[in-house]
Amino acid sequence: MARTKEFSDASVVTAARDVFWSRGFAATSLAQLQAATGLSKSSMYETYGSKRGLFDRAAQSYLDGIIGPLLGPLEAPGAGRDELLAYFASLGRLFSTAPRAIASRGCLMLNTAMELDDLDEAAADMVRAYRTRVRTAFLNSVASIQAVDDPGLKADLLTASQIGMMITSRLDPMMAADLAATVAADIRTW
């Protein structure tokens, strides 16, 4: 008779997500994953197949649980300036008020982009899809602001700003918060 799992899949994936988000795929050891998840090596491999299998689940958890709620308002029909301002304000609050260990994690997808040499084409596809989703969400919101002459260009600039902000947060969360405020101030002038 097969043993039943004695752990919560969601809890394990969330714990692994936080380790990968903080350390990156390559720098995360199996021992660190075991410590964070409480799983034995055999349970981890039996359930997720490999470290990469667990990473894939963690990355999807990040996209669904972190990115989805952040981008959802920007993706909604009728989104505009208010949603853009709320998005950048929420990033600014995170960078300026969260404990440094959280505020300096950056973005799991962008951190993954820095490790593509250690990963594979599937990871590159995941990062490209993330970037496309961010740009599309910005474009959806910018397109409804009548004063904007070239919504595509503004969406590209916001995407580049967001990427820069997330990378900056790894080094200096307060500087990233200042960048978020600067972007929001610019959006108010449109």
Residues 143 and 78: their CA atoms lie apart, in Å, by 9
CATH of domain 62-188: 1.10.357
Count of CB atoms within 10 A of residue 26's CB? 12
* Per-residue pLDDT, 5: 57
Residues 21-80: tens digit of each pLDDT: 999 999 999 999 999 999 999 999 999 999 999 999 999 999 999 999 999 999 999 999
Residue 116 — pLDDT band, cuts 50, 70, 90? Answer: confident
| Spans of all domains in the chain | 62-188
**Residue in the block written with tokens 């108010």:** 188
pLDDT > 90 fraction of the chain, expressed in percent and rounded: 91
Better pLDDT: 120 or 181 = 181
pLDDT > 70 fraction of the chain, expressed in percent and rounded: 96
pLDDT at 138 over 80: yes
* Per-residue pLDDT, 117: 77
Average pLDDT over residues 129-151: 96
pTM score of the predicted model: 0.91
101's tokens = 């260990």
**Where do runs of H (alpha helix) occur along the chain?**
9-23, 30-37, 41-48, 51-62, 68-75, 81-97, 100-103, 108-113, 121-142, 151-171, 173-188
Phi/psi region, residue 28 (left: phi>0; alpha: psi -120 to 50; beta: rest), is beta
**Cβ atoms of residues 15 and 36 within 8 Å:** yes
Residues 190 and 182: their CA atoms lie apart, in Å, by 13
Count of CB atoms within 10 A of residue 180's CB? 25
